Amino acid sequence: MKNILLIFVGGGVGSILRYWISKLLNNTSLDFPLGTLAVNIGGSLCIGVILGVLIKTSELNTSLTLLLATGFCGGFTTFSTFAYENQHFLKNGDFLSFALYTTTSIVLAIAAVFIGIYLTK
């Protein structure tokens, strides 16, 4: 039960932060989901740092991992919104935005994990 509560709290905080950032950044005149891109890249960097600390020190216990990596990062990032926004681009025939958003999201998210782990060395 403790583990579920840790994930619940971390996920709740992450989701609220994602909502605020998305509202702030997606509320621009651009027809591009900067908020979703920012939270997904930021969340990838965050999980890289969290897991990098775990790899380096072995001091990050299971409770902290569940709270931060599973809960917070899981609640903060959003694959479903990313998929929906890409569906929107495809439905509207905006193939350039689809390609740019998909490629940028995947490449930068993976790079952010590597950077996060590197920063903990």
Has residue 11 got a pLDDT over 80? yes
Has residue 56 got a pLDDT over 90? no
Binding residues: 74, 77
Token pair for residue 18? 């994602």
Question: Quick one: CA dihedral 105, 111, 116, 117, positive or negative?
Answer: positive
- From residue 118, give the alpha-carbon distance in Å to each of 14, 60, 71, 111: 23, 17, 22, 10
User: Quick one: the chain helix, strand, coil %, rounded to 5?
Assistant: 85, 0, 15
Q: Is the pTM of this model over 0.85?
A: yes
Task: Kindly report, residue by residue over 12-45, the tens digit of the pLDDT.
Answer: 999 999 999 999 998 777 789 999 999 999 999 9
The confidence score (pLDDT) of residue 59 equals 67
Task: Kindly report, residue by residue over 81-112, the tens digit of the pLDDT.
Answer: 999 999 999 999 999 999 999 999 999 999 99
CA 13 to the chain's CA centroid: 13
The confidence score (pLDDT) of residue 29 equals 76
The confidence score (pLDDT) of residue 99 equals 98
Token pair for residue 38? 């920012």
Binding residues for Na(+): 74, 77
